[in-house]
Homo-oligomer: A and B are copies of this chain.
Amino acid sequence: MISFDDIQEAYERIKKIVNHTPILSSRTLNNKVNSKVYLKCENMQRVGAFKFRGAYNALSQLSESKKEKGVITHSSGNHAQAVALASKILGIHATIVMPNTSPMCKVNATRKTYEAEVVFCQNSLKSRHQTTEKLIQKNGFTLIHPYDNDFVIAGAGTAALELLNDRPDLDVIMAPVGGGGLLSGSSIAAKGFNPNIIVYGAEPMNADDAYRSFHSGQVEINEDPDTIADGLRTTLCERTLQIIRKNVDDIFLVSEEEIIEAMQFVWERMKIVIEPSSAVPIAVILSEKVPIENKKVGIIISGGNFNLSEFFDEFRKL
């Protein structure tokens, strides 16, 4: 299991490359929940998500021969963009396996902005794995898993570390939980920084595998979870489950409507663009499911990648 030292070392490694993201607060939000809430804005991280921290940390730790052979990951989400950008910066060849149903804007961004190679597969988990496996066997690529990887988790934990360095007086740290990389890393950072800090996870009711796993002690599965928080549809792995069972104090669930309400609140009142996954911890505090009265609460805003092209196309027609 990774330690607080691992996260501190990861931070030393990546701090000149990542954005030191701002911490925002809102009088309206504080009054609503009767506590002081600090949003760690990883939506303003490079590639628009905390994922860049873990990807860069993992890639920079590869041996020279692995770097030369290149890396691979399968995703059309934030982790893929993070691996692509980190690879570009480090001069590593990156292959991203994407479903052939991915929006062309995302494919083009990965190819043009980050200069990664895109390989298409069928739109199924099986096809993704098979395509990836074949390319690894053929080319000797190293798979960069989005969360089942100690360096990725340590990198993810640097967001909470940076937050605590800036605001050492926090009582509570909250993060959304999907595969558990961010929550694991955040929990090790928080408890290592100060063992009295309470760490909470936040998860959509419609993808409550982490909640169930946390209570049962084994990795529980969600069959095809139906949530708009698309970053949180994945399930824990053994590695993240163990860390979360050891360090996290509780996990809270919220409905889809609560997620959208929270997202709208943050866009309208705090004027920042966050993706649905990032609204999940905000939904937990707004729906008063967690006792935080008079506490100082840090929330990791995991990302801000949300397709706005249709919205602006409509706007152009006005």
Contacts and interface: CB of A to CB of B under 8 A. Distances in A.
Contact of A46 (B19, B24, B27, B264): B27
Number of copies of this chain in the oligomer? 2
Nearest to A43: B271
Interface string A102-132: 0000000000000000000000000000000
Contact of A44 (B228, B260, B270): B270
A1 interface: no
Nearest to A312: B264
Interface of A: 19, 22, 24, 27, 41, 43-44, 46, 48, 228, 257, 260, 263-264, 267-274, 304, 308, 311-312, 315-316, 318
Nearest to A271: B304
A44 B27 contact: no
Contacts of A263: 312
Contacts of A318: 228
Given A22-B22, A272-B272, A267 B308 contact: yes
Given A260-B315, A264-B312, A316-B260, A271 B27 contact: no
B260 A312 contact: yes
Contacts of A27: 19, 46
A257 B317 CA distance: 11
B268 A308 contact: yes
A272 B21 CA distance: 13
A27 B298 CA distance: 25
A62 to B, nearest CB: 24
Contacts of A22: 22, 24
A304 B269 CA distance: 9
7 contacts: A257-B316, A260-B315, A263-B312, A264-B308, A264-B312, A268-B308, A271-B304
A271 B43 CA distance: 7
B272 A271 contact: yes
Given A263-B312, A264-B312, 8 more contacts: A24-B44, A41-B271, A228-B318, A260-B315, A260-B316, A267-B273, A272-B273, A273-B273
A109 to B, nearest CB: 11
A308 B265 CA distance: 10
Nearest to A42: B271
A271 B273 contact: yes
